[in-house]
């Protein structure tokens, strides 16, 4: 099979014997084992199904994804031991306005209703980012990871898991590229100086869960998110068909995938970034580990020319990813009373399309 999947061949795959898939009333779930056999009908069916999930849900779950269970378990254990420490110890590796990596808790977030604590680790060290959100200032700064003394295994566990996340993210983007009729490596060049990061989340039990949120309703601004959640659950996805919130049932060893705003723009809205949130538990701690796959700060995000034509003109103006991040971080860290920048600010209005 060539680098581009024939759309007619993909459509034909719909009528072949079905790959194992469970939709129930929740997000679709896929077995990723066919990724190692890209010439097979099972691979083509997987491409078709993932494209459909990206279009209709913006979310899906994967099993047999290749991430070793022992590496996930090791990181989960290290994260729990880190969060069990005193607040004083954890804040020794706290983030600030110069370096956004490390620990922070609900007191540092803009939304005081958030009920969580977080530890962020960058995938590429150092990570380069714009020093300012101003469009004419192209000075860059370095973000460096901050590692606590305890637990001593946390750094190695994070670094091992990050390598697995990057491998999986590349495979998923190849599948998504094929589903759009693009070259399988169409996304590859955007991530050479990536701004990807791993987040360790802890949501303590909340006595009044209906008055707070683990994470309020939002869309992810990056390209792709890969989430590992524990057996407590709490993630809810807003279903596109009726606007109802759908609980994502925890599945052992599964990973939850969602496309972010960048994929929405690159695909010219063929695929959509979807709202989701985290609900709290009144009795049990909840832990989760999302990986955010983000491109280089240099990348200009805009609809791919291959997906634009007279009937489907570009729906977004180009924007610089690094400046976009700098603007969001400035708003969050300084708790500015202004609307946080979103991709809808770059939406092409109907009158612009006609010009």
Say how far apart CA 336 and CA 98 lie, in whole Å.
17
- Give whole-number Cα distances, 280 to 199, 212, 232, in Å: 18, 8, 9
Say how far apart CA 134 and CA 131 lie, in whole Å.
9
What is the CATH classification number for the domain harbouring 160?
2.60.120.330
Number of folded domains in the chain?
Answer: 1
Say how far apart CA 179 and CA 82 lie, in whole Å.
40
Per-residue pLDDT reduced to its tens digit, 180-214: 999 999 999 999 999 999 999 999 998 877 666 66
Residue 187 lies in a domain: yes
**Which own/partner pairs from 300-303 qualify as long-range (CB within 8 Å, at least 24 positions apart)?**
301/262, 301/265, 301/266, 302/265, 302/266, 303/265, 303/266, 303/267, 303/268
Residue 234 lies in a domain: yes
Asked whether residue 17 carries a pLDDT value surpassing 50, the answer given is: no
Q: Which of the pair, 14 or 300, is modelled with greater confidence?
A: 300
pLDDT band at 132 (very low <50, low <70, confident <90, very high): confident
pLDDT band at 26 (very low <50, low <70, confident <90, very high): confident
Domain span at residue 134 reads 59-354
Residue 119 lies in a domain: yes
Confidence at residue 211, expressed as pLDDT on a 0 to 100 scale? 66
Mean pLDDT of 70-86: 97
CA 253, 106, 273, 276 torsion: positive or negative?
Answer: positive
Residue 185 lies in a domain: yes
Per-residue pLDDT reduced to its tens digit, 227-285: 999 999 999 999 999 999 999 999 999 999 999 999 999 999 999 999 999 988 889 99
Residue 64 lies in a domain: yes
Residue 260 lies in a domain: yes
User: What percent of the chain is modeled with pLDDT above 90?
Assistant: 70
Per-residue pLDDT reduced to its tens digit, 292-326: 999 999 999 999 999 999 999 999 999 999 999 98
pLDDT band at 86 (very low <50, low <70, confident <90, very high): very high
Mean pLDDT of 71-89: 97
Confidence at residue 113, expressed as pLDDT on a 0 to 100 scale? 56
Residue indicated by tokens 């009908």: 41
Mean pLDDT of 108-127: 79
pLDDT band at 335 (very low <50, low <70, confident <90, very high): very low
Residue 206 lies in a domain: yes
């Amino acid at each position: 099979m060539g680098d581009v999947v024939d759309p007619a061949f993909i459509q034909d795959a719909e009528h072949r014997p079905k790959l194992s898939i469970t939709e129930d009333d929740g997000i679709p779930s896929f077995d990723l084992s066919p990724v190692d056999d890209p010439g097979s009908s099972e691979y083509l069916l997987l491409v078709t199904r993932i494209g459909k999930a990206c279009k209709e849900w913006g979310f899906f779950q994967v099993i047999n994804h290749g991430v070793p269970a022992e590496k996930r378990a090791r990181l989960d254990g290290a994260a729990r031991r880190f969060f069990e420490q005193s607040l004083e110890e954890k804040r020794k590796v706290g983030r600030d306005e110069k370096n956004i990596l490390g620990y922070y808790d609900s007191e540092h977030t803009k939304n005081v209703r958030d009920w969580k604590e977080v530890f962020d680790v960058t995938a590429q060290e150092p990570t380069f980012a714009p020093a300012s959100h101003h469009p004419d200032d192209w000075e860059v700064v370095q973000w460096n990871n901050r590692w606590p003394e305890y637990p001593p295994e946390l750094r190695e566990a994070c670094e091992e898991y990050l390598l697995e996340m990057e491998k999986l993210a590349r495979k998923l983007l190849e599948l998504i590229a094929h589903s759009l009729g693009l070259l399988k490596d169409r996304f590859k060049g955007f991530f050479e100086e990536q701004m990807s990061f791993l987040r360790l989340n802890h949501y303590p039990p909340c006595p009044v869960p209906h008055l707070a949120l683990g994470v309020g309703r939002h869309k992810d601004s990056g390209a792709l998110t890969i989430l590992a959640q524990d057996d407590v659950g709490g993630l809810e996805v807003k279903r596109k068909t009726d606007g109802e919130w759908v609980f994502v049932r925890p599945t052992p060893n599964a990973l939850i995938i969602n496309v972010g705003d960048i994929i929405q723009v690159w695909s010219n809205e063929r695929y959509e970034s979807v709202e989701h949130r985290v609900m709290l538990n009144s009795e049990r701690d909840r832990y989760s580990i999302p990986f955010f796959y983000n491109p280089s700060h240099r990348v200009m995000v805009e609809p791919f020319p291959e997906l634009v034509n007279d009937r489907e003109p570009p729906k977004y103006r180009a924007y610089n990813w690094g400046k976009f991040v700098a603007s969001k971080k400035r708003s969050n860290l300084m708790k500015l009373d202004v609307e946080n920048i979103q991709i809808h600010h770059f939406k092409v209005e109907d009158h612009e399309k006609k010009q």
